[in-house]
Structure 1
Amino acid sequence: MRQSYAVLALCLLSPWAFASGGGQERLSDPKQAEQEFFWPVVYANGGSSLYCDKAFNEEGGLFTASAVYTKKQIKSALRCLTDKQCALKSGRYQHMLSDLHNLYPALSRVELSRRNANFGDLADSVPSKFADIDCEFRTTFQVVEPRDAAKGNIARAIFYMHREYGLPIIGQEQMYKEWHQLDPVDDAERARNDVIEGIQGNRNAFIDNPALVNELVP
């Protein structure tokens, strides 16, 4: 039922939502993308959070949609401060923010630690900040390292944003390539890719063809 409603909503999207963009051209309203498609369609049957692997049945206050390539990083790449300035810098700005390939469910409390930090490899001696909920998510002041089973998803989302929108790879490219190998594409990621294609009309090529990472130039 939720999927049927969302498909109908996709057909009824106002013309402005289909303005020409970069990687995808259908979604240009981040709030709409999250409220009408991310939770009701991509995760219609529930799922688990990316960073901590915590199960959920539906959208709720404990969980949020987390952008792997964050809004702050996109603004930095475009060298703009406000949404209006960024939209003037790039007509693809709102499409970047709305792109479902870049969004994953996360615990809200974990997202607060994640959003202003970059991904990186930390020393084994750095403790998990969320050991109280059995979540392997180590942090320092400006760097976070998630569990191994999330690293490939993160790397492929970042490579996708780089390939589709020309955004710089934030962090160490070689590290992301290693994460990509450490945590290979799985069936859940392939199924998610299929669902998102049905909504916004494009796919993450690094999920379909993992060997594409070899074409990235350092």
Structure 2
Amino acid sequence: MRTLTLLLGCLATCVGIPVLAGGQSQLGDPRQAIEQAFWKDLYGAGGTSLYCGQSFAAPGSTFTASPIYSSRQLKSALRCVTHRQCSIMNPRYPYIAADLHNHYPALTRVELARRNAQFAELAADVPSKFADIGCDLKASFQLVEPRDGAKGNIARAIFYMHVEYDLPIVGLVPMYKAWHRMDPPDAEEKARNDRIAALQGTRNRFIDDPALVDQLIAD
């Protein structure tokens, strides 16, 4: 039986990759980026929710944009509390918060349970929190383990945020690397990368070249 690989709390592990990065600089209003670029441009024709793999034909109130590197983690990393304070203290904050590579569609009900939790691998006997809707997302003590088909997407989004914005990786780097290898980029993720590049001018390099993950070295 598998055991928890993460302890409660925020375990931040910084890694480095010898590639210069600068983040996106085209979407500077997080709310507008979600309302327009995310829902209307990126997912206007529908898509699939990340954590439950449920298809939707059009945006609706049952779905929300879920930041993989959460708002709480971002503020903690930048040492600010409110959106206004973060924007004053760090002019890059609005662009970081608006970055489409960090957002995926999620059922609103699921996101409410996930938003303040940390990604982890949980014991095999931990039940799915949303089995009633056929969603394979485990949750225990502010830790969540997503379905296998979402793990690689999550890892690559976290690696992207680390490299582009010099944010600490919250969690265990070896676990994210394992998720990345187990669930490599598929056609849907690659197409999404292309569409985001057209909308905000940056690509997720770990989708384009999965081997770059091997250059991430834990301190």
Q: Give the TM-score taking structure 2 as reference length.
A: 0.88
Secondary structure of 2:169's counterpart equals coil
Query: Equivalents in 2 of 1:179, 1:80: separation in Å?
Result: 30
Q: Does 1:41 align with 2:36?
A: no
- Deviation of 1:88 after TM superposition, in Å, equals 2.9
Query: Equivalents in 2 of 1:143, 1:83: separation in Å?
Result: 25
Query: Equivalents in 2 of 1:66, 1:28: separation in Å?
Result: 18
User: Residue 113 of structure 2 aligns with which residue?
Assistant: 113
8 Å Cα contact 1:22-1:95 kept in structure 2: no
Query: Equivalents in 1 of 2:173, 2:202: separation in Å?
Result: 24
User: Residue 178 of structure 1 aligns with which residue?
Assistant: 178
In structure 2, what residue type is equivalent to 1:190?
Answer: K
1:132-165 superposed Cα distances (whole Å, 9 cap, x missing partner): 0011000012100010000000000000000000
User: Residue 63 of structure 1 aligns with which residue?
Assistant: 63
Count of aligned pairs: 198
User: Residue 86 of structure 1 aligns with which residue?
Assistant: 86
Secondary structure of 1:116's counterpart equals coil
- Give runs of aligned pairs for residues 1-218 of structure 1, distance below 5 A: 22-218=22-218
Q: Which runs of 4+ in 1 moved over 3 A?
A: none
User: Residue 11 of structure 1 aligns with which residue?
Assistant: none
Secondary structure of 1:124's counterpart equals coil
User: Residue 7 of structure 2 aligns with which residue?
Assistant: none
1:38-78 superposed Cα distances (whole Å, 9 cap, x missing partner): 11111122111000011111110110000000110000101
8 Å Cα contact 2:75-2:81 kept in structure 1: yes
1:163-206 superposed Cα distances (whole Å, 9 cap, x missing partner): 00000001001100000001001010010000000000110000
C-alpha RMSD of the superposition: 1.1
User: 1 or 2, which has the higher helix percentage?
Assistant: 1
Query: Equivalents in 2 of 1:144, 1:72: separation in Å?
Result: 16
8 Å Cα contact 2:129-2:138 kept in structure 1: yes
Question: Identity across aligned pairs (percent)?
Answer: 59
- Deviation of 1:122 after TM superposition, in Å, equals 0.2
Q: Give the TM-score taking structure 1 as reference length.
A: 0.89
For structure 1, which runs of at least 5 residues remain unmatched after alignment? 1-20
Secondary structure of 1:45's counterpart equals coil
1:101-138 superposed Cα distances (whole Å, 9 cap, x missing partner): 00000000000011000100000110001000011000
Flag the structure with more relative contact order, 1 or 2, with Cα contacts below 8 A and sequence separation at least 6: 2
Query: Equivalents in 2 of 1:22, 1:133: separation in Å?
Result: 40
8 Å Cα contact 2:44-2:59 kept in structure 1: no
In structure 2, what residue type is equivalent to 1:147?
Answer: R
For structure 2, which runs of at least 5 residues remain unmatched after alignment? 1-20
